[in-house]
């Protein structure tokens, strides 16, 4: 199984809603990532977890709250988002932290904030 599964595929939420994005991998990877990608732009790193601990937070606003319940799961909790937060949210995993091995990406969650 070389898949990273993200749910939901699409999400529309209001600015006062609370929602969560989920990501799962069963490759035994110990590093997991959240990226945000706007149209025609590169993926931008948000968070990195290594061995279930938050290693990198790229100064992401607190309305985004990551969680790593175990080595296979990664969540991104969303609260009080703004319309400009609408984007494709990508989860990725790799064997170890960093780019010395390939990263496997999920299909993404297309988020629309209304």
Partner 1 sequence: SQKIEQNSEALNIQEGKTATLTCNYTNYSPAYLQWYRQDPGRGPVFLLLIRENEKEKRKERLKVTFDTTLKQSLFHITASQPADSATYLCALVTPGGSYIPTFGRGTSLIVHP
Residues near partner 1 (CB under 8 A): 4, 6, 33, 40-45, 48, 55-56, 88, 90, 92, 97-108, 110
Q: What is the largest CA-CA distance in the chain?
A: 40
Q: How far is the CB of 24 from partner 1 (least distance, A)?
A: 14
Helix (H, G, I), strand (E, B) or coil at 83: helix
CA distance 42 to 21: 20
Torsion of Cα atoms, 73 then 98 then 11 then 65, to 10°: 70
Among 105, 109, 111, smallest CA distance to 29 is for: 105
Helix (H, G, I), strand (E, B) or coil at 20: strand
Q: How far is the CB of 62 from partner 1 (least distance, A)?
A: 21
Cβ closest to partner 1, residue 82 vs residue 102: 102
Quote the DSSP letter at residue 63. T
Q: How far is the CB of 30 from partner 1 (least distance, A)?
A: 14
Cβ closest to partner 1, residue 78 vs residue 97: 97
Q: How far is the CB of 111 from partner 1 (least distance, A)?
A: 12
Cβ closest to partner 1, residue 16 vs residue 42: 42
Cβ closest to partner 1, residue 83 vs residue 99: 99
């Amino acid at each position: 199984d070389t898949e990273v599964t993200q749910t939901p595929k699409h999400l529309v939420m209001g600015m006062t809603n609370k929602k969560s994005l989920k990501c799962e991998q069963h490759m035994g990877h110990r590093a997991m990532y959240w990226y945000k990608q706007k149209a025609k732009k590169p993926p931008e790193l948000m968070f990195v977890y290594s061995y279930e601990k938050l290693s990198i937070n790229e100064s992401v606003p607190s309305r985004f709250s990551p969680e790593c319940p175990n080595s296979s799961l990664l969540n991104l909790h969303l609260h009080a988002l703004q319309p400009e937060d609408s984007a494709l949210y990508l989860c990725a995993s790799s064997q170890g932290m960093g780019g010395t091995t390939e990263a496997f990406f999920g299909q993404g969650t297309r988020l629309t904030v209304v």
